[in-house]
Structure 1
């Protein structure tokens, strides 16, 4: 099972569960996560969604072996990718989303945090947006959401440099709301999730809608721009060379 789902005190917990692959997203996990987010959104007994990872990683991003195979056989397109379904589900989620970043977050393991309402991060976790090192464009409207969340220069560094950002720096930037010791991460995230979940669900939804509504046009415009650039760069010389190198080491 690539995604574990459990309920407690009106909090639905989703655990990315490909620990041997550092929870890298393949098409199966994208679809499972998209479906679980939509199901949580429509369930009247769910007030808050908590997302975390199994094992030592939050998510190592796209499964690059699957990506390379999709480029080779021509099956990897935005229209045929469940990635788009997951991003749409994140965009449309009307209930609070809390992310507990338990380990490395790479690529989508970082950019999905732009859709979180609260981010808790282990003191030993690290984040990276590796797009320039992979010869591709940003994803998941990160070119819009990250500047809104952490400021243009912090976002520019993360998106342009392909360098790691540790938990302390992520907190300073405003990407992580709280940094916890590893053993305290999930208890703290759950404690705060249950504080929110004790509130009126219609009120939670109304507050989140009011917060998110002004950003939806920017998300849509950024997504269109990123998708066009991604399609142009995918499979190009820089991307092909990077995938050949990375797939020799596994997903990232």
Structure 2
């Protein structure tokens, strides 16, 4: 499986203005996009442990790769909020703006990148994403199994369907 966003010829820019929780935090921070811009009000959280789930969408591999094992475990295991400034300090986002400036800045970055040659952009993304892409299928399969195991362990209505 090759993630769809990695096959796009042009860069995928994410603009986060508000809360991104669980899968939303993964989509914003775990290398789904090529650039992530956010407002000062943006906050991110991985509530998996609080909900009785394990990480998903490849975050169990990508987050340690991006920010180191200790910080990735802290975020995943505690479910603490991550501010936009802390996300910037951890290199999970490219820039932080005032809320009213976020969309104009995202459009400006998009215009600058759109002026690039599409095939060069595609090849650049291909080679830069390769280390993660080569391992991702196995990680996704293992994450799916651990999610099922966590549901069975916690119980509840979904457990009987697994």
TM-score by length of 2: 0.87
Partner of 1:217 in structure 2? 134
Stretches of structure 1 lacking an aligned partner (at least 5 in a row): 1-84, 242-252
SS where residue 185 of structure 1 aligns? helix
Higher relative contact order (CA 8 A, sep 6+): 2
Q: Decide which structure has greater strand share.
A: 1
1:180 matches 2:97: yes
CA distance in 2, matches of 1:102, 1:199: 27
Counterpart pick for 2:26 among 93, 96, 111: 111
CA distance in 1, matches of 2:102, 2:67: 22
Question: What is the CA distance between 1:131 and its match in structure 2?
Answer: 0.5
Stretches of structure 2 lacking an aligned partner (at least 5 in a row): 158-162
Question: What is the CA distance between 1:160 and its match in structure 2?
Answer: 1.1
Question: What is the CA distance between 1:225 and its match in structure 2?
Answer: 1.3
Aligned residues: 155
Question: What is the CA distance between 1:95 and its match in structure 2?
Answer: 3.4
1:165 matches 2:82: yes
- Once the two structures are superposed, what CA deviation does each residue of 1:12-58 show, in whole Å capped at 9, x if it has no partner? xxxxxxxxxxxxxxxxxxxxxxxxxxxxxxxxxxxxxxxxxxxxxxx
Aligned-pair Cα RMSD in Å? 2.0
Question: What is the CA distance between 1:235 and its match in structure 2?
Answer: 5.3
Contact 2:46 2:76 in 1 (8 A): yes
Contact 2:10 2:113 in 1 (8 A): no
Contact 1:94 1:209 in 2 (8 A): no
CA distance in 1, matches of 2:91, 2:99: 19
Matching of residues 227-238 of structure 1 within 5 Å:
227-234=144-151, 236-237=153-154
Partner of 1:122 in structure 2? 39
Question: What is the CA distance between 1:88 and its match in structure 2?
Answer: 4.0
CA distance in 2, matches of 1:94, 1:225: 29
- Once the two structures are superposed, what CA deviation does each residue of 1:89-140 show, in whole Å capped at 9, x if it has no partner? 3354453211101110001111112211111011011000111011011010
Q: Decide which structure has greater helix share.
A: 2
